[in-house]
Structure 1
Amino acid sequence: MSRKRWVRWAVGTPLVVLGLLVGLWQLSRSWTFQLFGELHARVETSEKVVALTFDDGPRPGQTEAILELLKRHGVRASFFMVGRNIERHRELAARVLAEGHQLGNHSYSHHRLIFKSPSYVREELDRTDALLRGLGVEGELLFRAPNGKKLVVLPWLLSRSGRKHITFDVVPRDDAEQDVELLTSRVMESVRPGSIILFHDGGQEKPGTVKAVDIVLGRLREQGYRFVTVSELLALGGR
């Protein structure tokens, strides 16, 4: 190999690898694109309607507080539940369903489903599906990846079974922040007709989340918005 060719190889190869890694990183964190199947971060609609979603539960204390708040506002939401939390708090998960909310699959262990084997990812899906069916959930089971992360294997498996991957376009980041004013402003600045709003009822206690959701529900209703489950929102696509 000539010196010039060796230099091009020595310089170009790391750049190609770096570019590939950057591309994979961007793909894994994208809320609006995946390589296979259906991904929904919001719905195109002219109606002032949004879907309020909660991740990582059920969690005693936090989930009940959210349920009481939703009941007071007369709102139905969608809860993407972690399988192992359903096992630990089955009665609470059943209560969410009994009160008219939608339950979705948020994996079994809440591990990021990237760089995992197909068998591992399939088990994460299937175990939580079985738990949801055991609670009495009927019809289509929607899925949301832990932390919204995916690369190739997860979208491929979802597409093979015709599963919809639900992400979000309004992210107040209440998993990292509990300042009520900040959470509220992030939602109000980003929301639009057809939005899917992400909050959390799992993890650590989130008193700021409860207060922010209360404020957001009131303000959006004042602006003429109504609230539906994710499945109901998907049915409105294009209207």
Structure 2
Amino acid sequence: MQKDQLFTRRRMLLAGAAALGAAGTAGLIVAGADEEGTPTAASAPAPGPQARQAPLKSSAFRLQPLTGGAPPHSVPRRLKVRTEPIFRISEHGRQMMLTFDDGPNPDYTPHILDTLARHDVRAMFFLCGECVEANPHLVARMAQDGHVVGNHTWTHPLLTTLDRSEIESEMERTSHIIEKTYGELPQWFRAPYGAWNKATFQLGAEMGMEPMAWTIDTTDWDTPGTGVIIDRVERGAAPGVVILSHDAGGDRSQTVAAIQKWLPHLLDSGYRLTVPNRRV
């Protein structure tokens, strides 16, 4: 309980700063970069409303879960160091992206995964290492269902209060356990509370992860009510936005109820929900 209250207090302080950053970076798209900083493919569209009439074959979108053949602790590909996170994706084809932080959690994550599966939609999940350790079967399901996972540190600390070695440990331990349970190293990182600093950008690039922020904060972390969450998503919906929700870190029953309403509304409105391409 104390940890959940601390999450809420810190988020309230940092939400304003994150929103200001998003407004100043509206032109950015989701894109990888090689060692020389050359952009790679931006995103692969996930199925929208059309897919509900003609679902993709599993081989067209599903990841291969780890079966013991992949070596643990692979060497990550180093990326160009960014100076700010990515806040938006390409607006092409009325694309949007759904993201969930702080999980996985056995009480809420399965319901969110069920809703996404029902509508044949992929999302990004930014995972905390300690939650992955406790719920590896949920991460395996994310891989099986074709979702993309990212690194959200091991214990969800405020990274700007830690020294570089402590930040590195939080990020590295999480990448390793994600590789073990998901089947590959994460290629995306999100700083808890949206609190970024130079070390997080540098270490993320060294570990092969691009920094991902968000455009719309549903404020579900503050449990404002299911109706408020639905309204924030539907009013903020626009091509290129990245939606922030949470599947852990507190009571997320409102999040579970809200997505059952706003997700079909977005699809019926013609939005396509996408996840980033996997680099090869």
Do they fold alike, i.e. is TM over 0.5?
yes
| 1:193 equivalenced with 2:239 (yes/no) | yes
From 146, 149, 155, the counterpart of 1:103: 149
Bigger Cα displacement from structure 2, 103-112 vs 128-137: 128-137
Q: Which runs of 4+ in 1 moved over 6 A?
A: 25-28
Change (3 A) 1:172 1:75: same
Please give the per-residue CA displacement for 1:109-134, whole angstroms capped at 9, x wherever unaligned. 10011032111111111101101111
Looking at structure 2, the residues matched to 188 and 26 of structure 1 have their Cα atoms a distance apart, in angstroms, of 19
Instruction: Note the 1:224-239 alignment, pairs <5 A.
Output: 224-229=270-275, 231-232=276-277
> How high is the TM-score relative to the length of structure 1?
0.79
- 2:52 maps to none
Larger radius of gyration: 1
| 1:53 equivalenced with 2:102 (yes/no) | no
From 205, 218, 222, the counterpart of 2:268: 222
- 2:139 maps to 93
| 1:164 equivalenced with 2:210 (yes/no) | yes
Change (3 A) 1:77 1:27: closer
Change (3 A) 1:210 1:132: same
**Aligned-pair CA distance for 1:140:** 5.3
| 1:115 equivalenced with 2:161 (yes/no) | yes
Looking at structure 2, the residues matched to 204 and 26 of structure 1 have their Cα atoms a distance apart, in angstroms, of 17
- 1:206 maps to 252
Aligned amino acid, residue 193 of structure 1: P
Please give the per-residue CA displacement for 1:75-115, whole angstroms capped at 9, x wherever unaligned. 11111000011111112222222221111100011001103
Instruction: Note the 1:70-149 alignment, pairs <5 A.
Output: 70-138=116-184, 141-149=187-195
Q: Which runs of 5+ in 1 are unaligned?
A: 1-24
Please give the per-residue CA displacement for 1:35-94, whole angstroms capped at 9, x wherever unaligned. 944621112423211111110001012011111111111111111000011111112222
Please give the per-residue CA displacement for 1:202-223, whole angstroms capped at 9, x wherever unaligned. 1223221112111111111121
* RMSD over aligned Cα atoms: 2.5
Q: Percent identity?
A: 30
Bigger Cα displacement from structure 2, 85-94 vs 38-47: 38-47
From 59, 64, 88, the counterpart of 1:42: 88
Normalized per residue, the structure richer in helix is 1
Looking at structure 1, the residues matched to 212 and 141 of structure 2 have their Cα atoms a distance apart, in angstroms, of 23
Change (3 A) 1:185 1:82: same
**Aligned-pair CA distance for 1:173:** 0.4
Looking at structure 1, the residues matched to 163 and 186 of structure 2 have their Cα atoms a distance apart, in angstroms, of 25
Looking at structure 2, the residues matched to 139 and 78 of structure 1 have their Cα atoms a distance apart, in angstroms, of 14
Looking at structure 1, the residues matched to 16 and 96 of structure 2 have their Cα atoms a distance apart, in angstroms, of 26
Contact 2:92–2:239 (CA under 8 A) maintained in structure 1: yes
Looking at structure 2, the residues matched to 160 and 101 of structure 1 have their Cα atoms a distance apart, in angstroms, of 24
- 1:9 maps to none
- 1:154 maps to 200
Instruction: Note the 1:177-192 alignment, pairs <5 A.
Output: 177-192=223-238
Change (3 A) 1:120 1:170: same
Looking at structure 1, the residues matched to 185 and 101 of structure 2 have their Cα atoms a distance apart, in angstroms, of 20
Three-state SS of the structure 1 residue aligned to 2:85 is strand
Looking at structure 1, the residues matched to 15 and 241 of structure 2 have their Cα atoms a distance apart, in angstroms, of 22
Bigger Cα displacement from structure 2, 89-98 vs 107-116: 89-98
**Aligned-pair CA distance for 1:181:** 1.3
Change (3 A) 1:28 1:160: farther
